[in-house]
Structure 1
Amino acid sequence: MRTIQRSTPVSAVLAHGDAAAVVRSIAPEVLDSPMVVELADFPSAAILGLILGDDDPRISQIMEGVAEFEDLSPRPAVEAPIAAAPDYESGAVPRGSARVEASRGAGANRRTEIVLHGPSHGNPFVDVELTVTFRTVGKDITVGGFYDGNGTYRARFLPPSAGRWSFTTTSNARSLDGIHGTISVSESDARGPVRAVDGGHFAYADGTAYVPVGTTAYAWTHQDEALQEQTLRSLAQAPFNKIRMGLFPKSFMFNANEPERFVFPRAEGGGWDTTRFDPEYFAALETRLDQLAALGVEADLILFHPYDRWGFATLGPTADDRYVAYVTRRLAAFPHVWWSMANEYDLLTTKGREDWDRLARLVRSNDPYGHPLSIHNWVEVFDYSVDWATHCSIQSGDYTIGKSIARWKRAWDKPVIVDESGYEGDIDQGWGNLPAEEMVRRFWDATLHGGYLTHGETYYSEDDVLWWSKGGTLQGDSLPRLAFLRQIIDASPTGRLDPLPSDWDFPSGGADGYIVTYYGGHRPRYRDVRIPEGRTATIEVLDTWKMTIEPLPGDHTGQVRVELPARPYIAIRVVLAPES
């Protein structure tokens, strides 16, 4: 018998008469809360935490009391995987007889591909397995191929270096097996994929520092063409170099529209045919990915999320595996792709830790380039000690977010991105009505503690087009201030701001000889600054809201009293002269 657990939907707990009686006897106010209706499909322990408070001991009492009852919530059907057919083509088909095309003009760290024109009978999405091994002196890279409809198979390659690369295909389809060829890869100025480096940072493959200043537009590629184009125009004028976005559409407040295309085609009689994929959906997505690349924006692709009315959150493990493998094979050669296993993983009640481990390892096995990979929480922060997670992707609306970032970095020694810290906007949800001043303050606080923050915007619109989900037009006052922050970061000799030894009350960050101290919402009238003995420095007062830089005349030594304007959001920048 499957018993009620912390992850059991609250609706399933309250639908069980005896379990509901336990809740009523311990915390009767739970039954009167509108959240048990609005969030009925979400995990019971998390909803209890929202209603009663995370530290209320009655949560444990309730969960212990209902644990003896059967969990009657529906579970995804378990279907057997479909193995590639060993006799997909008869022995009469000549081995390696498929026509092959290799892209010309390949460049290092730029996507290229091998296109094979082969068989289309049966269901090649599951009946055919194809891999291609690329070789150059001292290096082999094997990539998984995928079926793209109409008898077309593709194997995409992201060559890490210039030179002559040979390739060999392997397939259960005789016509696709044992094909040999070469591609010539030239040098290029492409920086390559972003990777986690040095415990707490990111860099492109060529070693250039990458500092994420991202935004969120979950369902922007599920909107009409005109709105998608407007989103791209907005991004072109914005300070962002990363965007979080979902492969599945979203069903939530302000998200009632039906997309034109989906990952899967419709099945006969309704539902989805999860044994096939929609090439037109992916072609449209890839066009948008290329447009993001042209803007210098990394695409943080969310593979699963709980805000669903189509059934994509409960496909079952076999369909999940098939989907993850196909998506990874198809998109891993895009240099600017990141993988997010889930947005708010702890709301996906039919997946446990073992499922996330299995799916993440499936991403890893189909992505030979090591793109950034993480998973994102709602309430319960994930344990990022797992070897597959390259960085931490965290939701936390903590006002003192910088101190939390410092703690998480110590715990996991990985880069920390707070991908949700609240949204600048004015809707009726507490998470979606931060003032711009607070959004900017959190960015500075996170940055000087060695972490990264992701922007979001939720200004109400009668047409339900809010940037946080659908994209469109950015209007928030934080945007130019975040561009100003990027200017201060870029001026560092390392292109980053690392945490530096700080006074007890305010954080400092920077690099050797480049020191920025931020005073947040406080409003000091002056601050004493100490220049190291034997050094001289320039000193500037930064107004992070007005975006001004006011230098103190001259060079400075010893202890300097810096007069400040006694208003919030001020910083001081000290730049030491080189040692003679």
Structure 2
Amino acid sequence: MKSVEQYKVFSVELEGTAEGNPYVDVTFGARFERADGGDAVDVPGFYKGDGTYGVNFMPGSAGAWNYATHSSDSALNGVQGSFEVTPASGDNHGRVLRARDVLPREAPFSTENDFTFAYEDGTRYLPFGTTCYAWTNQDEELQEQTLETLSHAPFNKIRMCIFPKFYDYNVEDPAMYAFEGSKGAFDHTKFYEPFWENLEKRIAQLDELGIQADIILLHPYDKPEDWGFSRMTKDEDVFYLTYAVRRLAAYKNVWWSLANEWDLLPWKPAEDWDLYARIVMANDPYGHLRSIHNCREIFDHSHPWITHVSWQRCDLQRTAECVVDLRAQYGKPVIVDEAGYEGNINWGWGNLTAEEEVRRFWEGCLRGGYVTHGETFVDRGPKLWWAHGGKLYGDSPERIAFCRSYMESLPSGMDWVPDEIGVIDGTFTWDVTCMADSMGKGTDDVLMYFGFFRPAYREFTGDEGKRYQVDVIDTWNMTVETLPQEFEGAFRIDLPSRQYMMLRVRTVKAE
């Protein structure tokens, strides 16, 4: 009997008719059921070309499973089979979901898990992403180099497109296209199998590296006369989205981004995106995370199909600082998916210093959000990571790795504290970004991030009867110094008058 690990992909492939256009003419799918009468999942299938049909299934539980196909083609209808699902092992934790949908709430109106993510087995997940829009549209050698780079990088999420991207520094035609045909004459009712096989392969390889594939389904950066993918009709969009989701949804590391910079597609009004979201949800039996991304006009993220806020800064200076406002407005996790990129291109969004790139990560994290990296150097290697992949040359990735490691080491209850709340009695925090335990209700573990400010010292007035331990963290030089003495009452912590410093003040004794 065939077997597959829980949360991995089990594929059924059958031979049927190749007459006409099976992408349009033939319906195909399968019902998967646990042999003990438990879970049952209906999974839509897809045509793979040359008379071959497939259906991909992600089993959510271990045990014996059966399946039976259904199709308008008699050769594909009523085919049955069985397979064994072994328990998830190692770092296989299942899908990433909103924590509120995975973890129980401590009280009926608790919001502790509203702004965070977790794997479906309950393991905490903090996204530290990167942007590599068109990496699967490059030649095979460059794709392999990208994977090699990612295997040593700190990123556990990647923003990536299906369609190629035409924009500054990225004007080449791709190695392959999603549709059959050629430039200026693509057939939007037929898909090019080698392209989709490669895309599935790359998503599976990302999964092996522990990286979530945040798949951008539509975007405006097109060659309208040569490609025309951004100008497809509504019916063509629906046809494409249906196929893409049916083909890819069984990969546990998939997220759906309906669009990159949706407002640069003004011929697709907001109600179209609601329709497209319904298409995605109808063809994804696993309920993967869903978002939509802006340029200047922010989409209304209160729409129920949106699971989290995927946001691009609308101000070149104020970026990660907006996490607090977005959380308050939408009540959902916030990812600043474009906070600006380390690099030196001519555009302001792509010539940040590494120091500023890293500062935005810490700022976003301590405000209870998440930030995505990008790199755009024109003079370090032949390709720009942000579009093509390849190699990373900047100074921010290793420091983002330190940020990720530090944030993952904190207690799960740590969250942003509003400026007006003094986290230690008599100590003001209005001029720093502050995080504390228990959603700001406790004061026994406090982080204070100074960002681009550089104080020579900080004064505290401790709670009566408490003693404190203090860590001095240099987020740029990646050091953590635990001061040898304990503090109580009024005390002063000296600092090196450098930017990007942080303090952690923990209660070690309370009488």
Q: State the 1:579 CA deviation.
A: 6.7
1:164-563 map, 5 Å: 164-189=64-89, 190-197=92-99, 198-266=113-181, 270-309=184-223, 310-396=227-313, 398=315, 399-461=317-379, 465-494=383-412, 497-500=414-417, 502=419, 503-512=429-438, 513-563=444-494
Report the 3-state secondary structure (helix = DSSP H, G, I; strand = E; otherwise coil) of the residue aligned with 1:135: strand
Q: For 2:181, what is the secondary structure of its paired residue?
A: coil
- The residue identity in structure 2 corresponding to 1:326 is Y
Q: Percent identity?
A: 45
CA contact (8 A) 2:31 2:69 kept: yes
Q: Deviations over 1:408-444 (max 9, x none)?
A: 1111110011111211111111111111111111111
Q: Give the structure-2-normalised TM-score.
A: 0.89
- Contact persistence 1:132–1:144 (CA under 8 A): yes
User: CA contact under 8 A between 2:29 and 2:42: conserved in structure 1?
Assistant: yes
Measured in 1, the distance between the counterparts of 2:397 and 2:190 equals 41
* Contact 1:515-1:575 within 8 A present in 2 as well: yes
Deviation at 1:130, TM superposition (A): 1.1
Equivalences for residues 35-50 of structure 1 within 5 A: none
Hey, what's the Cα distance between the residues in 2 that align with 1:380 and 1:397? 8
Normalising by structure 1, report the TM-score. 0.79
8 Å Cα contact 1:530-1:560 kept in structure 2? yes
- The CA distance in 1 between the partners of 2:235 and 2:451, in whole Å, is 49
C-alpha deviation, 1:549, in angstroms: 1.3
Task: Specify the SS of the correspondent of 2:310.
Answer: strand
Structure 2 counterpart of 1:142, which letter?
A: D
Aligned length: 476
The DSSP-based 3-state class of the residue aligned with 1:105 is: strand
- List runs of 5+ in structure 1 lacking aligned partners: 1-102
C-alpha spacing 1:501/1:251, structure 2 compared with 1 (3 Å): closer
Q: What SS class does the counterpart of residue 147 from structure 2 fall into? A: helix
Q: Give 1:297's aligned amino acid.
A: I
AA aligned opposite 1:206: D
Amino acid at match of 1:296: G
1:3 alignment counterpart: none
Are the aligned partners of 1:492 and 1:514 in contact in 2 as well (CA < 8 Å)?
no
CA distance in 2, matches of 1:393, 1:270: 32
Shift of 1:578: 7.7
Cα pair 2:475 2:501 within 8 Å, conserved: yes
Between Structure 1 and Structure 2, which shows a larger proportion of strand residues?
2
Contact residue 514 and residue 574 of structure 1 kept, 8 A: yes
Equivalent position of 1:574 in the other structure: 505
Give the distance between the partners of 1:153 and 1:426, measured in 2 at CA: 47
**Structure showing greater Rg:** 1
Aligned partner letter, 1:278:
Y
Question: Helix, strand or coil for the counterpart of 1:239?
Answer: coil
Q: SS of the counterpart of 1:390? A: coil
Name whichever structure is richer in helix by fraction. 1
| Post-superposition offset of 1:465 | 1.0
1:482 CA displacement: 0.7
Whether 2:25 is the aligned partner of 1:127: answer yes
Report the CA distance between 1:293 and its aligned residue: 1.2
Distance (Å, rounded) in 1 between the aligned partners of 2:76 and 2:400: 50
What is the CA-CA distance between 1:501 and the residue it aligns to?
Answer: 5.0
**Cα root mean square deviation, aligned:** 1.9
CA contact (8 A) 1:220 1:245 kept: yes
1:474-506 residue CA offsets vs partner (Å, 9 max, x unmatched): 111111111111121021122x74213551111
Q: Residue 178 of structure 2 contacts residue 195 of structure 2 at CA under 8 Å; is this kept in 1?
A: yes
Q: Report the CA distance between 1:264 and its aligned residue.
A: 0.2
Any idea what the Cα deviations from partners look like across 1:446-495, whole Å, max 9, x if unmatched? 1111111111111113875111101111111111111111121021122x
C-alpha separation in 2, matches of 1:548 and 1:417? 26
Sort the Cα spacing of 1:462 and 1:425 in 2 relative to 1 into closer, same or farther, 3 A: closer
Q: What code does the residue aligned with 1:572 have? A: L
Give the CA deviation at 1:401: 3.0
Query: Could you list the runs of 5+ residues in structure 2 that have no partner in the other structure?
Result: 100-112, 420-428, 439-443
Instruction: Give deviations 1:34-80, integer Å, cap 9, x for gaps.
Output: xxxxxxxxxxxxxxxxxxxxxxxxxxxxxxxxxxxxxxxxxxxxxxx
Q: CA deviation at 1:402?
A: 4.0
Q: What amino acid is aligned across from residue 181 of structure 1 in structure 2?
A: G
